[in-house]
Amino acid sequence: MSVIHNEMATKCKLFVDGKWVESSATEFGDIANPSTGDIIGKVPMGGYKDVDLAVQAAAKAFPAWRDTPVVERARVMFKFKNLLDEHYEEIAGIVTREHGKTLAEAKASVQRGIEVVEFACGIPSLLFGDSLANIATNVDCETIRHPLGVCAGIAPFNFPAMVPLWMYPLALTCGNTFVLKPSEKVPLSSMFIAELLKKAGLPDGVFNIVHGGKDCVNAILEHKLIRAVSFVGSTAIAKYVYEKGTANNKRVQAAGGAKNHIIIMPDASMEQTVQALQASAFGCAGERCMAGSLAIPVGDAAKELMPRLIEASAAMKVGPTDSGSSPDMGPVISSEHLAKVRSFIEKGEKEGAELALDGREIAAAKTSKGFFLGPTIFDHAKKDMSIVKDEIFGPVLSVVRVNDIEEAIALGDNCEFGNGAVIYTNSGRAAREFKHRFNAGMIGINVGVPASMAWYSFTGWNHSFYGDLHIQGKEGILFYTQQKTTMTRWFSDAPVAKNFQDPVWKSKK
């Protein structure tokens, strides 16, 4: 694992053909520890040259990996899963250091990533084809799933280990080779994990890493040898990647941003609801595509909910996540992002929402060089305000009070996004109505963050997803493979070989 510890102090390298190599980039970005503001590494802002190097290695490795029996590909994943378990704490530590999540959040996210590897271990059964005998007279038909070739993954900053793990375990076990571009803000976890893949026995060139931002992404979208691109990030870039990638004849699955609604019915169990709402809105400092960032108490629900929620949120401890203490919430990713989230708070005030809890006032936000902001709550927000419509991606919860469930469902119909939505209630009828009619792809009923686990696809709707086949689960397998259908006929009057002695055949004649 030497490369990671060295890279902490120096420049990140590319992982190409099983080796760490220098980038040809001339510009470098900073990797910061958000808890302290310290620079902990430099990342090359690579372009076509770096991408081409990695893609050529992946293309060279493809034929042998494609022809490796699927059971052997699965065995590499089993070994990889064991290594991930073994190094679980270390990976979570790197995630905390480069991203700022609390250690508990980092561990939970790594666990979610490991679950994708567990799913991928079952690849022989997942790749089964279909067959039908005698679909026409003496004609049998079968389908087989083939890998595509070189696939690429482009990841966001908010889950440094987990989101890349949504992609490559499936792509690789399906028989593809892979080029990963982690977020330039948090490349270290993926670099550590690359060494585990090598240690698990993955042949050189099958998995590669490049670094950079826009130029690197454009090089991926334009490279002729890349067949498919998985993207996770903001909606604007997801749309761009989808349009440019498909225009260049690539398969693209592109998951975008979100504004997830949490509806609280008056009959909800309030204690659990407050805890869940707090965890959903402020967990991972609100930097989750499944964060509940818009609470919608129905009827009388607000009366009990709001005082309890404000009190509990104000009591949350916010501070550095890598110093041995265990705060409830860590920093946001960067000083630029902090400024952006703060500007949303100013907008909310100008728009006339009631600032019920102001996270700018916490001690860490005033004294630390880290990028801190405390839990912030706007009450009495209205449906056309930017704090209700836009993704803020920080610890800011907007609350829109409504009279009935119809009004709550209508708010969802107006939403540009459609990742997740949650209802807290003890009424089966309200829950059923919500589940069937709400305009989002992942629904929680008394579950605060209904992010699909590895065995299911991550089914965002509207502008939270561009493409046809979602990430993870069965759709993930379909995305990384193409079908071949074969029809076979053997003629009944075909000449028989001279010395053929098959008794069955004889009796049939």
Which residues of this protein are in contact with ligand NAD, per CB under 6 A?
A: 154-158, 163, 181, 183-184, 213-214, 217, 232-234, 237, 240, 255-258, 289, 391, 393, 419, 458, 460, 464
The amino acid occupying position 3 is: V
**Nearer to ligand NAD among residue 15 and residue 393 (C-beta):** 393
Grouping H, G, I as helix, E, B as strand and the rest as coil, residue 194 is helix
**Burial (Cβ within 10 Å: 0-12, 13-18, ≥19) of residue 11:** middle
Residue among 183, 187, 170, 142 at smallest CA distance from 20: 187
Q: Is 289 a catalytic residue?
A: yes
Tokens of 162: 């987990």
Q: How far is the CB of 14 from ligand NAD (least distance, A)?
A: 15
The H or E element spanning position 434 is helix 428-437
Tokens of 374: 């405390």
Grouping H, G, I as helix, E, B as strand and the rest as coil, residue 147 is strand
Q: What is the Cα Rg of the chain in Å?
A: 25
CA distance 16 to 480: 21
**Annotated active-site residue in 121, 151, 216, 289:** 289
Yes or no: say if 467 and 457 are a contact pair by the CB < 8 Å rule. Answer: no
Q: How far is the CB of 274 from ligand NAD (least distance, A)?
A: 24
Q: How far is the CB of 469 from ligand NAD (least distance, A)?
A: 14
Q: How far is the CB of 425 from ligand NAD (least distance, A)?
A: 26
**Nearer to ligand NAD among residue 73 and residue 112 (C-beta):** 112
CA distance 347 to 378: 11
CA distance 359 to 282: 11
CA distance 72 to 78: 10
Grouping H, G, I as helix, E, B as strand and the rest as coil, residue 411 is helix
CA distance 46 to 447: 41
Residue among 410, 466, 404, 457 at smallest CA distance from 438: 410
Q: How far is the CB of 64 from ligand NAD (least distance, A)?
A: 29
Residue among 255, 179, 191, 186 at smallest CA distance from 221: 179
CA distance 112 to 436: 27
| Beta bridge partner(s), residue 489 | 139
**Nearer to ligand NAD among residue 119 and residue 393 (C-beta):** 393
Residue 37 region by backbone torsions, left for phi larger than 0, else alpha for psi between -120 and 50, else beta: left
**Nearer to ligand NAD among residue 322 and residue 391 (C-beta):** 391
**Nearer to ligand NAD among residue 211 and residue 401 (C-beta):** 211
Of all residues in this chain, which one has the CB nearest to ligand NAD in the complex? 233
Grouping H, G, I as helix, E, B as strand and the rest as coil, residue 148 is coil
CA distance 93 to 87: 10
CA distance 152 to 177: 8
What DSSP line would sit under 67-108, residue for residue? TS-HHHHHHHHHHHHHHHHHTHHHHHHHHHHHH---HHHHHH
Grouping H, G, I as helix, E, B as strand and the rest as coil, residue 315 is coil
Q: How far is the CB of 68 from ligand NAD (least distance, A)?
A: 29
Tokens of 79: 């070994």
- The residues annotated as belonging to the active site are 289
